[in-house]
Amino acid sequence: MGEPRVDRIAQLTTRPAGRPIAYDPAAAPPSLHVRAAQVLEGNWTGRSTVPSRGLYPHQWSWDSAFIAIGLRHLSPLRAQTELETLLAAQWADGRVPHIVFNPSVPLDAYFPSPDFWRSSTAGRAAGAPRTVQTSGIVQPPVHALAAWLVHLADPGLSRARGFLTRAYPRLAAWHDYLLHRRDLGGGGLVSVVHPWEQGMDNSPCWDRPLSRVTPAPAGSFRRADLDHGAPEDRPTDLDYGRYVRLAADYRDRGYADGPGDFAVEDPAFNALLAASEYALAHIADELGVTGSARRTRAERLTSALVERLWEPAAGMFLCRDVHEGELIPERGVSGLVPLLLPALPRDLAATLVRTACGPHFGLGGTTRLVPSYDLLGEAFDPHRYWRGPAWFNTNWLLERGLRLHGERGRADALRRGMLHTAGASGFAEYVDPYTAQACGVTGFGWTAALTLDLLHDRPARGRNGLTAIKGEDRG
């Protein structure tokens, strides 16, 4: 009948060699560690972790990267397996799809379902896998950073299994796909061709370019998300119709990349690619391949970010509408994420900190966690998906960025706020930035995983923290 659940949780909170994993009891109640482990155990499917059992019953790309970062503290083997399962669904052109579908899940449990994407047929020319069904779009490239951190959790196990040896060519092909196929603006940055690719699906930053898209007819699809979430927390039917139209048009073009109706250069997507290039340089060094070219690419991406997306008047990075050739005048949390980069000019980093702590985002003042969108923006909504609520993955990235650029006090305060909010909200998908009221679903995968990472990765950051990006640690 299998192991009792309590024994499985006990196993997950012990390293393979039997050494207990320490956490910081001063930062949060000890039960927070066990509760987070229980969420990840409950969402585990045998080869990967779903974000949530109801609303998101498949494997999501950047979710799995963040989940692996937390899982490494419980079971480095499971964290490696998480990433390996995702990378096994990679397309021949290098793209890592944003969803890997579980064939045991009914088609009507999630939309768009495998029969919408038709990856094995519509994606044949792009090299979609034949044996697994996936979506055809991508998500932010956090995977190399996750792979390096997972390796550092147990280098002996990683080397014995050949984890990095097998992952490196897939990660390199993934980055090459983005840099060579998705530079639609010609300025050295990657463009996303669908709001779902950027990960912050419903951000007001997409409203202007989305306004050019004719929505799919309301009766042509059924939204499964409303079975699990309150309508006032989810995207509107109009926005969802536009998402469906964009995805269907991309599918009907055989998933061929080019400037369709929507093409946006996003600061967070490109900053995460640069951070993962630094991590890929570490992986190359570990494998005896020089990582200098990767570090150069990371620095070039940082320079391109500053050149194309920095807006001094806003005090932050903005998205660029590739079709119009103009910056989109909306402040989203995406524009703060480049704080994660070590080569960011010092004056820009200081300006980003001021913006994060100012009236538009309220860090350390009016908000408990950094909101996903401008508190003063006309479209701000504290509960609606990515239009104002605070998310744990973006705050985790900002906590790292603050610490990297010497803002230890602010980073410590944000860390404490995240740990308290995660436990109090039941590991919510996202929360009201003012009250920390839970929104979306609870028991959310990356919220639990990143809580574990904050509990384990002590504020001094040591060898498992920011040095994984800065280039000071060779494992």
Using alpha carbons, list the distances in angstroms from residue 24 to 15, 30, 72, 199, 451. 17, 8, 17, 31, 12
Per DSSP, the three-state class of 373 is strand
Q: Specify the residue for token string 């949530």.
A: 52
User: Is 93 one of the catalytic residues?
Assistant: no
Strand partners, 439: 430
Rounded-to-integer distance, Cα 428 and Cα 235, Å: 18
Which one is catalytic: 429, 432, 453, 457? 429
Strands 320-321 and 390-391: unpaired
Q: Specify the residue for token string 């066990």.
A: 34
Q: What tokens were used for 149?
A: 């951190």
Using an 8 Å Cβ cutoff, are 134 and 194 in contact?
A: no
Rounded-to-integer distance, Cα 57 and Cα 62, Å: 15
Nearest to 429 by CA among 199, 256, 180, 205: 199
For the chain, give percent helix, strand, coil, nearest 5.
50, 5, 45
DSSP state letters, 330-370: --BGGGGGGGG-TTS-HHHHHHHHHHHHSTTT-BTTTBSS-
Per DSSP, the three-state class of 321 is strand
Q: 163-181 and 143-153 are packed helices; what angle lies between their axes, rounded to 10 degrees?
A: 160
Q: Specify the residue for token string 């640690």.
A: 473
Rounded-to-integer distance, Cα 152 and Cα 144, Å: 12
Rounded-to-integer distance, Cα 318 and Cα 335, Å: 6
Neighbours of 121 (CB within 10 A): 11
Which one is catalytic: 201, 249, 285, 473? 201
User: Is 277 one of the catalytic residues?
Assistant: no
Q: What tokens were used for 459?
A: 């504020």
Residues 51, 49, 17, 24, Cα dihedral to 10°: 0
* CA 15 to chain CA centroid, nearest Å: 26
Per DSSP, the three-state class of 311 is strand
Using an 8 Å Cβ cutoff, are 398 and 413 in contact?
A: no
**Residues present in the chain in total:** 475
Using alpha carbons, list the distances in angstroms from residue 58 to 240, 374, 417. 20, 31, 30
Give backbone dihedrals phi and psi of 214, rounded to 5 degrees, phi first: -80, 120
Using an 8 Å Cβ cutoff, are 307 and 347 in contact?
A: no
**Active site members:** 201, 429
